[in-house]
Amino acid sequence: MTTPRSFIQSEQVNRVILCLALMSIVIAGYQVFSLKSALLPPIEKPRITLHTSWQGKGADEIEQTLVTPLEQQLRSLNGLSRIESVVSESFAATELFFHPGSDLDQLYLEVLSQINQVPNWPTQVLPPRVINQSSGANLTLASAMLYGEQNHTKQDYIHVMEKIIEPALAKVQGVARIETGFNSTEQRIDIRFQPKQLTQLGLTTEDIAAALTALKDQSGGQMVIGSHDYSLHFNGQVPLEELGNVNIAVRQGHVIQLHEIAKIVRQPASPWGYAAFKGKRAFYFTLEPSANIDSLATMAEVKAVFEQLNDGVLPRYGMQLSLSRDDAKSINSALLQVYGNLLLGIALAGMMLVLFFGDLRSVGLIMLAVPVCLSLVILGMKIGDFSLNVISLAGMALSTGLLLDAAIIVIENINRHLGSGKAVHMAIAQGTREVRGAIVSSTLSSILVFIPMVMMESVEAQLFVDLAFTVSNALLASVIVALVVLPAVARYSLRPRPALNTTHNMVNVRWHSAPVNHSGVRYGVLLVGLPLATVLSVMWLPDFDVLPSPKQKKVNAVVVFEAPLSSQAAELQIAQKIQARLLHAQQKKLAPQYGAYGMFCNTQLCQLYFYPSDDWDMSRFRHWLKTDILADLPGTVSYVMQAKLLNFALPDNRTIELQLSGAALPELQSMGQTLLSQLRSLYPLAKITEKSPLSNHMTRIEFTVRPNALARLGLTRATLNNYLVTLTDGMYLGHYYTQGASLPMYLSGEQVKDVDSLLNTAILVPDHGLVYLHQLVTTQMVKVPSEWLRVNGEQAVALAIEPPEGVAVGPFVEQIKASVKTQLKQLDPQQTVLVAFQGSADNLSIFLREFLLLILCALAVLSVLLWLTLKSWQLALAVLLSLPMALFGGVLALNGVDIIYGQSLDMITMIGFIILLGLVINNAILIAEQVRIGRANGLAQSQSIICAIKNRRRPIYMSTGTSILGMLPLLLSPAEGAEIYRGLGAVIVGGMTINAILGMQFMAALLSMPWFANANIDETVNIKQVVQQ
């Protein structure tokens, strides 16, 4: 990039530049309101999930008939690393894990194709629902409760959801799907008969099935009468309300109709979980977002729809809608905090520049770089379809110092020439030209540091793409503004100025250049800056963690059932007891102050949430819940924790999954139980639960046929199985079309009270009369798991382990691995059981490998760039050797923050070290470049070092100070969500502070070593610079 004097003096070109800068500010000011807002950038997970339902079928049959063939069919997919399936009654979830970087869109189409090729798929079972998680699916935008003051039937809730709420929310841009799986709105029609009455009338289930399956409208083609064609249609379908009038059979002249022998029931296809909002029974549902949406805009539209429904149609049904989880407030708070910190950082940087320059014209010129650069960054984000989130905004806040660096160096150098008596246009031309090479090279070095960051493929590393783009865009913009815009503006604003008072400056120069003339100081500084800083950095490095855990003003409590309960039992035994205790605490004013609260329970657990008042104490809340509300609930384990801001954006980001496989399921369950007990005793503060059942708590009735009895009656096993299915959950008759909906229809017997009643049921066997079931089968009660886990086609068990609050994942994983290894030596001396750690443990190890590769790539790229810039491997090495001391400053600051707030070395904080490399190296380049210029102009080694410090000291101080002050608000902010970037801020503030104090001294000590005296200085370079002697 060149900025010749004629370019600066050209009034016409200057006006064009100023107009373009002003236009960029205006356009960016308009476009910033159209940028999407979100808590985090979109994260694409290399996973595809399949949900398979087969109502009324056991886990064994679903595994054998559906899951196993499905897994075998999908194993041939390219890039597939692991298949996991969870199989339970009536349902199975299969998750496909792919290698990072796989084309999930193409794989999604291949999965759809492979599903259609699964052999022997039952005709009555719908194909699996396929969810492509790479598009951001399977996350939750918000959750809501539909509730009423009075008790409502399930049909009431279903009607309101399907006819009113779902159509209204379907119009909201950004809402991809309404998930009602917790209380499914899918329905079925049950024809419930009384077996005893059936046998008395001499009817069989086949008689009813034959009459009902014939109820279909059919077309008969075309018929020509005269000159007209007529289509034929046979009416077989009857309305649901008239279904009871269908004729089944004729006995003794009497026509038996369906309503005489059976009840017709329309009900949910699967049992509902229990949900309550503010103590009232509720219908719980979640909103799933579309990919890459504007979260705040979508939530604002959702709230408007809720308000409209609550004020309009819902009161007619005695119902109201309320958000049970609304992260918009937390997102707004986090974004506003970063906005405020950004403005505060700019203000602090401006105040510091006023102290240095004492000249408002110069400070105004430098600060002009901020709006112009930020406008270019915003336009870049708009073009690149990036969102405003805490990561990109933190990049902007970080860029505050970077934006001003180049401007400070240019304006400071111009002022230096103005102080020497040169004309304004000459000072601008020469001052800009002299620093152009250093600015371009240092900026390129900083940008190149971020290129390997973008190439990282792990899921969590996707967070840093926005950061890398924002900072790189800001750096590029700062070069354009400093070398093009500011010289054009300076032509109109700067005036000749007197030379600076150098008395105090020379004292400062002597302080920084002391290592040049004193060998003791030199070796002392080198000792501190290289070996000591490196050793202490390694020794004091905080524990590795996955991601920060920013808290939000919300309390969650989880009650885990030691044995699975039915939906009805969970409501009666757990939920209603908790509700009664909450009501008692409110009436007696024993509870902490809170606003909205709710609860929902399934067969495995109950979860409660509370939104406390502004003046609240988490420790008091925890004690109240543990002692007054959740204590003495039989067969449960409870956990109380403060809600995490990233819980729904990145669920399970701190969960370690321990998997055991390679043996029979009973053996794996026994080992899992022992490990669970041992780990809970070793780590009592950790949350350790069963990811898959370790005990056989579910009771199954197994029927074994009497083959001789079947043979005498001429029955087959399949026929007897149909009888049993019909008498229990129901025999599928097909789909019944009613009121625009096609509902599955089942023929089932009335609910039996016990097994003996079932066995004493008589069935009518043609030619043999009545036969009781106990004559045909024997029964036994068997304990089985409520569900089981399959990993890569083999049965497995798993534990979910979450570290205690404030404990980093990295060291905790190593402790868990050591404990598990010790226990398995006793439990499995032959080492036949396979152990795998998934979740956070696997994610952290993948990220650390990528991060190490990132550092090596960054250093390699920097080395080549520095050699090209400085034309000397010795000087390039000197610049790189300045990094350990700055890294030590970052580690030191991290330890300080850890003492005050509790801070680990999470992934976002690690990226702070990469950013620190780009910042610190700029200062070292300025010194090394100036030394090269001095040596090329014939100065001695010591003279060139002193000259470099004298000429570059002030810009280094100012650029370092602006970087520190720009990040200081992010470091010190106590607001909600500040934990996300507090570690990153600490690294940069600490590293830059140490660099400001000792950086120039270290470079002076290093460059004064004899080995650097003979650096390859390009003697042929014609440098037209007046070197101050």
**Alpha-carbon gap, residue 955 to 405, rounded angstroms:** 8
The answer to whether 970 and 982 have CB atoms below 8 angstroms apart is yes
Q: Which residues contact 528 (CB under 8 A, 6 or more apart)?
A: 885, 998
How wide is the angle at C-alpha 409 spanned by C-alphas 403 and 410, nearest 5°?
95
Residue 576, pLDDT > 70, answer yes
**Helix, strand, or coil (residue 734):** strand
pLDDT attached to residue 627: 92
The answer to whether 979 and 334 have CB atoms below 8 angstroms apart is no
**Alpha-carbon gap, residue 773 to 906, rounded angstroms:** 64
The answer to whether 99 and 81 have CB atoms below 8 angstroms apart is yes
* C-alpha dihedral, 446 to 452 to 453 to 457, nearest 10°: 170
Q: Which residues contact 769 (CB under 8 A, 6 or more apart)?
A: none
Residue-wise DSSP of 946-987: HHHHHHHHHHHHHHHHHHHHHHHHHHH--STTTHHHHHHHHH
pLDDT attached to residue 135: 59
The answer to whether 193 and 262 have CB atoms below 8 angstroms apart is yes
How wide is the angle at C-alpha 536 spanned by C-alphas 534 and 541, nearest 5°?
100
Q: Which residues contact 964 (CB under 8 A, 6 or more apart)?
A: 401, 988, 989, 992, 993, 996
Task: Please give the DSSP secondary-structure letter assigned to residue 36.
Answer: -
**Alpha-carbon gap, residue 384 to 404, rounded angstroms:** 24
Structure tokens, 728? 């229990």
Give buried/exposed letters for 151-176 (b at 16+ CB in 10 A, else e).
ebeeebbbebbeebbeebbeebebbb
User: CA 580 → CA 586, 671, 825, distances in Å?
Assistant: 10, 39, 48
358: left (phi over 0), alpha (psi -120 to 50) or beta: left
Q: Which residues contact 548 (CB under 8 A, 6 or more apart)?
A: 646, 906, 908, 909, 979, 980, 982, 983
Q: Closest Cα to residue 269, out of 205, 344, 351, 180?
A: 180
- Total residue length of the chain: 1029
User: CA 858 → CA 402, 437, 444, 445, distances in Å?
Assistant: 19, 21, 12, 9
Tell me phi and psi for residue 795, to 5 degrees: -70, 145
Structure tokens, 461? 């590393």
**Structure confidence by residue, pLDDT tens digits, 739-766:** 777 888 999 988 888 888 888 888 888 8
> How do the residues of the chain divide into helix, strand and coil, expressed in percent and rounded to 5?
55, 20, 25
pLDDT attached to residue 355: 83
**Helix, strand, or coil (residue 598):** strand
Give buried/exposed letters for 737-751 (b at 16+ CB in 10 A, else e).
ebeeeebbbbbbbee
Mean pLDDT of all residues in the chain?
Answer: 85
pLDDT attached to residue 601: 93
pLDDT attached to residue 1: 45
Structure tokens, 577? 């007891």
Mean pLDDT (whole number) for 372-377? 90
pLDDT attached to residue 506: 61
* C-alpha dihedral, 265 to 267 to 273 to 277, nearest 10°: -100
Residue 483, pLDDT > 50, answer yes
**Structure confidence by residue, pLDDT tens digits, 591-631:** 899 988 999 898 889 999 998 988 888 999 999 999 999 99
Residue 501, pLDDT > 70, answer no
How wide is the angle at C-alpha 583 spanned by C-alphas 328 and 588, nearest 5°?
115
Question: Residue 112: is it exposed, middle or buried by C-beta count within 10 angstroms (0-12/13-18/19+)?
Answer: middle
**Structure confidence by residue, pLDDT tens digits, 546-567:** 878 788 888 999 999 888 888 8
Element (H, E) at 847: helix 840-870
**Alpha-carbon gap, residue 360 to 493, rounded angstroms:** 10
**Structure confidence by residue, pLDDT tens digits, 220-271:** 778 888 778 888 888 888 888 888 999 999 988 889 999 999 999 998 988 8
Amino acid, single-letter form, for residue 159: H
Residue 314, pLDDT > 90, answer yes
- 3-state SS, 356-418, equals HHCCHHHHHHHHHHHHHHHHHHHHHHHHCCCCECHHHHHHHHHHHHHHHHHHHHHHHHHHHHH
Cα 880 to chain centroid, rounded:
35
Domains of the chain (ranges, CATH numbers): 142-177+277-326 (3.30.70.1320), 187-268+698-784 (3.30.2090.10), 333-498 (1.20.1640.10), 501-539+871-1029 (1.20.1640.10), 551-644 (3.30.70.1430)
| Contacts of 125-130 spanning 24+ positions with Cβ under 8 A | 125/52, 125/53, 125/54, 125/66, 126/53, 128/50, 128/51, 128/52, 128/70, 128/94, 129/50, 129/51, 129/52, 130/48, 130/49, 130/50
Residue 95, pLDDT > 80, answer yes
**Structure confidence by residue, pLDDT tens digits, 505-536:** 565 677 777 888 888 888 888 898 889 999 99
pLDDT category at 1019 given cuts 50, 70, 90 is very low
The answer to whether 349 and 965 have CB atoms below 8 angstroms apart is yes
pLDDT attached to residue 253: 85
**Structure confidence by residue, pLDDT tens digits, 280-305:** 999 999 888 887 788 888 888 999 99
The answer to whether 395 and 381 have CB atoms below 8 angstroms apart is no
Amino acid, single-letter form, for residue 136: G
Handedness of CA 759, 760, 761, 764 (dihedral sign): positive
Most confident range, picked from 130-144, 539-553, 785-799, 847-861 = 785-799
